[in-house]
Amino acid sequence: MAGLPLIETATGRGDIARQVGDAAAAQRHYERALTLARTVRARYAEIRAGTALGYVQLRDIGASSARESFRRAEQVAREGGWLLERANALIGLGECDSRQRRVLAAHRHLLAALDVFDSVGSRQGVVNALTGLGDACRMVAWGDDAHGWFS
């Protein structure tokens, strides 16, 4: 696929920018990767860039912006049968729900992710899903302060 090296480069630059704390640059690179992936119909690359963009948006913009990125990544992963990628997007959706105090929706997304991770034997995925469930429960008790204490 001709556009794949460009997509991988943009995604890699987004990863680097995110690691050094440059959220604006990370968002630009992930959006570029996402646009390229959609143009050449590179579905796996679209999921990867969309999920990464969702996490940048969740941290620096807000859950509303991130929700659409995670939702689209989850949909593409589900349609393509990419289980782990779908579960990662579900965790992102659960985190969005948690931050918006949609606790039942958060639990639904996170339990679905937990089921996938458990079925494929991903210990780290199971830990991530359980951590998300704990965060969602803390949101009930402590509201917005929960993310400051436990992140």
Q: DSSP readout, 21-38?
A: T-HHHHHHHHHHHHHHHH
Q: Is the pLDDT of residue 65 over 90?
A: no
Q: Are 51 and 71 in contact (CB under 8 A)?
A: no
**73-106 residue pLDDT tens:** 999 999 999 999 999 999 999 999 998 888 899 9
Q: Is the pLDDT of residue 141 over 80?
A: no
pLDDT band at 151 (very low <50, low <70, confident <90, very high): very low
What is the pTM for the complete model shown?
0.87
Q: Is the pLDDT of residue 20 over 90?
A: yes
How far is it, in rounded angstroms, from Cα 137 to Cα 129?
12
Tell me the CA distances in angstroms from 19 to 14, 87, 104, 145, 149, one per residue in order.
9, 22, 32, 25, 22
Q: Is the pLDDT of residue 111 over 80?
A: yes
Q: Is the pLDDT of residue 117 over 60?
A: yes
**29-52 residue pLDDT tens:** 999 999 999 999 999 999 999 999
**Residue 1: how many other CB atoms lie within 10 Å:** 10
List CB contacts of 107: < 8 A, sequence separation 6 or more: 94, 133, 136
- Nearest-Å Rg of the Cα atoms of the chain is 15
How far is it, in rounded angstroms, from Cα 74 to Cα 81?
10
